[in-house]
Amino acid sequence: MPKPFKPSVQLKENDVTDERVYMNRRSLLKSMGFIGASTLLAKSASAAGWFWEDDEEKVPFKSEPLEFSQPPKFQISETRTPENKVISYNNFYEFGTAKDAPAKNATEFQTNPWTLTIDGLVKKPITLDYNALTTRFPLEERIYRLRCVEAWSMVIPWVGFELAALIKQADPLMSAKYVAFETLYDPDQMPGQRSRFMGGGIDYPYVEGLRLDEAMHPLTMMAVGLYGKTLPPQNGAPIRLVVPWKYGFKSIKSIVRIRLTDKEPPTTWNRLAANEYGFYANVNPNVAHPRWSQASERRITTGGLLTRNRIDTQLFNGYTEVAPMYNDMNLSRYY
């Protein structure tokens, strides 16, 4: 993601606050020189008869196979991006801004237990635990294009369910007009939330939003897996949004809360640079980003990451069935 954030050497007030928040028992111990040695210490500690509770529970992440209906509900003929690229070239600033940082820094991200709450303007608020995320709704596979605002793209086989199914169960009130999403806030686990430099200057938690009709659209999906297995942490485990006709930053990862509201909710990239990232962020080759063209994209497929594989970008990323939702909007403006 482009970085409007300019690192400054001087600590600002909120840097200090962030530091304070994360200086809990575990981090404090780490800062006293136990960094990296904690697992080893946990072992010898338990052997000696005392326990290091936090580390006891830490298990490196392992993808598990998922059961889902076949054939895929949405198919495209384009070549899929190989799994090793989907899981190693990521944007997940909570784990660092480099493309390879999330895969490196999220290996021990704890996604079980997990709770996802749907509340706000609904009659029946719901809280799903880790198990319910993959069992409450029948899972299906969908092969979607993912177009990042940075002008690269992938073709990914997701596993998940329609967001509409989840929202319907919560029974929205007539007054609900928008849906607000929130990523986990846990600076102890997410190094990018501890340091403004490592986290790209974002005020965490990462937040996103959709209009209610966009959220209810049959293409809008909650993904719990890719390539037939549970999501790796770097791709947004245990559950993330996938909105294939919008720039990738709308597809928020590792969601803990979905809130129905009557006002357009704030969104992370819009808050950071309102002139560059709109609330709608529909893929549109005819509207350039203020700093680069959006007319074409680098499709990441089987070649090396630097292979020149430029293709034309399509309006709504090719998902033109969503167009009627925007009939009354001037798409030539940067939304």
Question: Which residues of the chain form contacts with ligand MTE (CB under 6 A)?
Answer: 1, 90-94, 146, 148, 183, 206, 235-236, 248-249, 251-254
Cis? peptide before 232, omega within 30° of 0: no
Beta carbon nearer to ligand MTE, 96 or 172? 96
- State the minimum distance, in angstroms, from the CB of residue 201 to ligand MTE: 12
Nearer to ligand MTE, 121 or 153 (CB): 153
Nearer to ligand MTE, 94 or 162 (CB): 94
Query: Between residues 52 and 144, which has the closer beta carbon with respect to ligand MTE?
Result: 144
Q: What is the 3-state secondary structure (H, E, C) of 25-63?
A: HHHHHHHHHHCCCHHHHHHHHHHCCCCCHHHHCCCCCCC
Query: In angstroms, rounded to a whole number, what is the distance separating the alpha carbons of residues 45 and 240?
Result: 37
Min separation Cβ 276 and ligand MTE, Å: 12
Query: Maximum distance among all alpha carbons in the chain?
Result: 69
CB of 327 to ligand MTE, least distance (A): 27
In the bound state with ligand MTE, the residue whose beta carbon lies nearer, of 220 and 235, is 235
Q: Does a cis peptide bond (omega within 30 degrees of 0) precede residue 205?
A: yes
Q: Which is nearer to ligand MTE, 223 or 322 (CB)?
A: 223
End-to-end CA distance of the chain: 17
SS3 193: helix
Nearer to ligand MTE, 22 or 93 (CB): 93
Minimum Å gap between C-beta 45 and ligand MTE is 33
Which residue's Cβ has the minimum distance to ligand MTE? 248
Q: What is the DSSP string of 76-108?
A: -SSPPPPHHHHTTS---GGG-SSTTHHHHH-TT
| Helix, strand, coil percentages for the chain (3-state, nearest 5) | 25, 25, 50
CB atoms under 10 Å from CB of 29, counted, come to 16
User: Shortest distance, CB of residue 54 to ligand MTE, whole angstroms?
Assistant: 23
Sequence-distant (6+) residues with CB within 8 A of 84 are none
Least separation in angstroms between residue 22's CB and ligand MTE is 17
Q: What is the rounded distance in angstroms from the CA atom of residue 24 to the CA atom of residue 46?
A: 22
Q: Least separation, in Å, of the C-beta of 152 and ligand MTE? A: 8
User: How far apart are CB 19 and ligand MTE at their closest, in Å?
Assistant: 21
Q: Which is nearer to ligand MTE, 55 or 145 (CB)?
A: 145
Query: Residue for token digits 């040695």?
Result: 37
